[in-house]
Amino acid sequence: MKFVIIGAGAVGLLTACLLKKAGNEVQLITRRQEQAELINEQGVLYGETQYMIAATTDWNSIPTEAYTIVAVKYDGLKNVFPRFHHQAIANPIIFLQNGMLHIEAIAKLPQTNIAAGSVEHGVVKLHDNEIRHTGHGVYKFALLKGDESVFKPLLSLPGIRTEWHTDADQLLFRKVLLNTLINPLTALTGLKNGELLTNPYAFGLMKNLYSELSEAFPGMATLLPFEEVKALCESTANNTSSMLADRLAGRAMELDTIILYTLNRAPIELPLLRSFYHLLKSTEV
């Protein structure tokens, strides 16, 4: 199968390497020319292996039949969405962002077949062509529009754990809740995901936040049992969450698409989460 990945960050590079390892034809679309040149010259370094993957900044090189995976952050979508109105029109598209603020805009895109994915891996970008896979997990997909059979081949990619979900809102909101419970706490404390379980103060805050969310969302215990939050912290124990990675790098954090989205979706006020939001927002002013 052919895949094009837009965004050669932590998740984009990991996905490219896993797909290449599984025997697929893979191409990366970078934002910066120098990153494309580095990847073309030196490949992508993942573990002990160097993956030679073609990289370009040119969207015209996207083959019509390629699955096009969007792995930029929420903030990067403002430059990607306008392009999709003119390019990759016939391609099946898969969006991998955390958060949900972008979902409404996706419905307005001209592409017929669009899916969303929830990534439960931990991965850190060390250099423009090097990643560290800090937590092995699963890619979960659901249909946003079109024909789900178009995406079903994604469920039999050798060596890549994937699941298909029938309810996109449930799948994505569950991930929003996971990120709401993990990411702000890591970004505020500087702790790795696994340390949220071993640091008693951070763990206490996570439990309190879970209780606050459970009051707002009565289906919480079924949609996301606390054990599953702990399991994700464990499976990605050595990961620097994407929000902490952004904070450390001085980049905009995905605060609105994750935390503000949760605050706005809750039918009641969430004082603890609101405080986390304001504390993190205050660092970006």
What is the set of active-site residues? 175
Is 113 in contact with 90 (CB distance < 8 Å)? no
Site membership for ligand NDP, residue 30 (CB under 6 A): yes
Nearest approach, Cβ of residue 229 and ligand NDP (Å) = 15
Q: From the list ligand NDP, ligand KPL, none, pick the one residue 27 interacts with, judged by a Cβ distance below 5 to 8 Å according to partner type.
A: none
Q: Which does 32 bind (CB under 5 to 8 A by kind): ligand NDP, ligand KPL, none?
A: ligand NDP
Q: Which stretch binds ligand NDP (CB under 6 A): 121-129, 205-213, 220-228, 265-273?
A: 121-129
Query: Between β-strands 67-70 and 93-95, what pairing exists: parallel, antiparallel or unpaired?
Result: parallel
Q: How far is the CB of 147 from ligand KPL (least distance, A)?
A: 28
184: exposed, middle or buried (Cβ count in 10 Å: 0-12, 13-18, 19+): buried
Contact 38, 17 (CB under 8 A): no
Burial tier of 159 (Cβ tally within 10 Å: 0-12, 13-18, 19+): exposed
Q: Considering only residues 4, 5, 11, 280, which one is a binding residue for ligand NDP as defined by CB under 6 A? A: 11
**Residue 182 binding result from ligand KPL, ligand NDP, none, given CB thresholds of 5 to 8 Å by partner type:** ligand KPL
DSSP per-residue codes, 224-271: S-HHHHHHHHHHTTT---HHHHHHHHTPPP-HIIIIIHHHHH-SS--H
Pick one of 92, 122, 184, 194: the residue that binds ligand NDP (CB under 6 A): 122
- Contact with ligand NDP (CB under 6 A) among 27, 56, 91, 97: 97
- Closest to 262 in 3D by CA, of 214, 197, 198: 214
Question: Which residues of the chain form contacts with ligand NDP (CB under 6 A)?
Answer: 6-12, 29-32, 71-74, 76, 79-80, 96-98, 119, 121-123, 125, 239, 242, 254
